[in-house]
């Protein structure tokens, strides 16, 4: 039987503002009702039983906050799944790295949410046209990556607005990253780490062959990026928005969708802005 927890002492939960222009200002939100979204992997089964004995699990619609138990990948899919409810998300890391998450502790969850800081982030939106003339749209919180689909390298033209970024890039692909995602795949392919309040997006080549030394570009977050496959038949490419893949891409437009605001809650020692700054320092040292 699920145990109901008395939360009458939490009349209002002040959520401090993170030091970012993407963060909401200080506000008062009543966060008494929790919905737990738990990744169904083996190592979480015992924790799920313990947590659901200690805390009541409300339905998503009637909840005030969604607590996500898992890793970054599960957090990304949960954010998209429950986007329409406009709830704040508090992540507890049970994955490998957990960049988007807080350190896992199953005690005093109400107290942690009470003291949490709120950061809001907007995702990328991609509109893809395929070889078969289908139009597919999706959002990406971290990044959009265009990747070669065969043994042949990709041949791509990249522009933003009316300006040409590169006429012909021969590479394994290209990656467009938000500041929140700049420490993930983007960092692995030697892209720049962007501050959360930078209002920038990173365009980073993946194993460029020609021009070999092209490092990519940092663009304004208001940019409309268009990528065209210059040789659809011989050099097919696929595109991935976080965990959504589309194959045989003809072209894609990528922008920041400012109409969507994901609300992420962080402990004071785990705020996303601090994590990004720490990664920037590590990169400078290395």
- CB-CB neighbours of 255 under 10 Å: 18
Same domain, 58 and 142: no
Dump pLDDT digits (tens) for 91-136.
Answer: 998 877 778 899 887 678 888 898 899 999 999 999 999 999 999 9
For residue 264, give Cα distances in angstroms to 6, 18, 74, 120.
Answer: 25, 10, 14, 6
Whether the per-residue pLDDT at 18 is higher than 60: the answer is no
The tokens for 177 are: 């990253």
Catalytic hit among 6, 39, 64, 72: 72
Same domain, 165 and 231: yes
Same domain, 188 and 247: yes
- The whole-angstrom separation of Cα 77 and Cα 79 is 6
Q: What is the pLDDT of residue 106?
A: 67
Question: Is the model more confident about 27 or about 63?
Answer: 63
Same domain, 34 and 154: no
Is 242 assigned a catalytic role?
A: no
Judged by average pLDDT, the poorest of 23-32, 159-168, 170-179 is 23-32
Same domain, 60 and 135: no
Q: What is the pLDDT of residue 7?
A: 38
Under a CB-based contact definition with an 8 Å cutoff, are residues 157 and 203 in contact?
A: no
Same domain, 109 and 128: no
- The whole-angstrom separation of Cα 90 and Cα 266 is 7
Question: Is the model more confident about 24 or about 259?
Answer: 259
278 within domain boundaries: yes
Which residue is listed with tokens 């589309």? 246
Whether the per-residue pLDDT at 40 is higher than 90: the answer is no
- The parent domain of residue 189 ranges over 124-256
Q: What is residue 8's DSSP assignment?
A: T
Could you give the percent of the chain with pLDDT greater than 70?
87
Residue 181 pLDDT class (50, 70, 90 cuts): very high
Whether the per-residue pLDDT at 175 is higher than 80: the answer is yes
Same domain, 233 and 268: no
Same domain, 60 and 153: no
Phi, psi of 15 (to 5 degrees): -110, 115
Read off the pLDDT of each residue in 8-30 and give the average, rounded to a whole number: 39
Peptide bond just before 211 cis, omega within 30 deg = yes
Whether the per-residue pLDDT at 2 is higher than 80: the answer is no
Total tally of structural domains belonging to the chain:
2
For residue 174, the SS3 value is strand
Residue 13 pLDDT class (50, 70, 90 cuts): very low
Phi, psi of 215 (to 5 degrees): -95, -5
Q: What is the CATH number of the domain that holds 246?
A: 2.60.200.30
Whether the per-residue pLDDT at 231 is higher than 80: the answer is yes
Query: What average pLDDT does the structure give for the chain?
Result: 86
Residue 27 pLDDT class (50, 70, 90 cuts): very low
Q: What is the CATH number of the domain that holds 42?
A: 3.40.50.10330
Q: Taking the mean position of all CA atoms in its chain, how far away is CA 62?
A: 25
Same domain, 164 and 151: yes
Question: Is the model more confident about 99 or about 271?
Answer: 99
Same domain, 93 and 140: no
For residue 47, the SS3 value is helix
Q: What is the pLDDT of residue 269?
A: 74
5 within domain boundaries: no
Same domain, 108 and 70: yes
180 within domain boundaries: yes
- The whole-angstrom separation of Cα 44 and Cα 61 is 24
Whether the per-residue pLDDT at 42 is higher than 70: the answer is no
Same domain, 47 and 165: no
């Amino acid at each position: 039987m699920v145990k109901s927890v008395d939360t009458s002492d939490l009349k209002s939960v002040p959520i401090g503002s993170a030091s970012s222009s993407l963060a909401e200002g200080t506000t008062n939100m009543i966060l008494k009702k929790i919905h737990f979204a738990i990744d169904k992997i083996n190592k979480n089964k015992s924790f799920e039983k313990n947590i659901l004995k200690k805390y009541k699990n409300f339905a998503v619609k009637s909840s005030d906050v969604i607590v996500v138990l898992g890793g970054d990948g599960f957090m990304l899919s949960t954010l998209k799944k429950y986007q329409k409810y406009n709830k704040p998300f508090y992540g507890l890391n049970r994955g490998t790295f957990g960049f988007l998450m807080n350190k896992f502790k199953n005690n005093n969850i109400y107290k942690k949410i009470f003291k949490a800081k709120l950061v809001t982030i907007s995702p990328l939106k991609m509109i893809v046209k395929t070889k078969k003339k289908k139009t597919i749209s999706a959002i990406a919180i971290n990044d959009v990556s265009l990747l070669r689909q065969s043994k042949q390298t990709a041949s791509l033209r990249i522009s933003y607005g009316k300006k040409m970024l590169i006429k012909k890039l021969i590479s394994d692909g290209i990656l467009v990253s938000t500041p929140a995602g700049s420490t993930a795949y983007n960092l692995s392919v030697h892209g720049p780490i962007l501050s959360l309040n930078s209002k920038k997006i990173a365009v980073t080549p993946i194993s460029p062959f020609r021009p070999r030394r092209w490092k990519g570009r940092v663009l304004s977050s208001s940019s409309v990026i268009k990528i065209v496959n210059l040789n659809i038949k011989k050099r097919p490419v696929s595109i991935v928005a976080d965990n959504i893949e589309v194959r045989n891409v003809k072209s894609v437009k990528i922008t920041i969708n400012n109409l969507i605001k994901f609300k992420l809650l962080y402990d004071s020692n785990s705020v996303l802005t601090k994590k990004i700054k720490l990664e920037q320092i590590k990169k400078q040292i290395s």
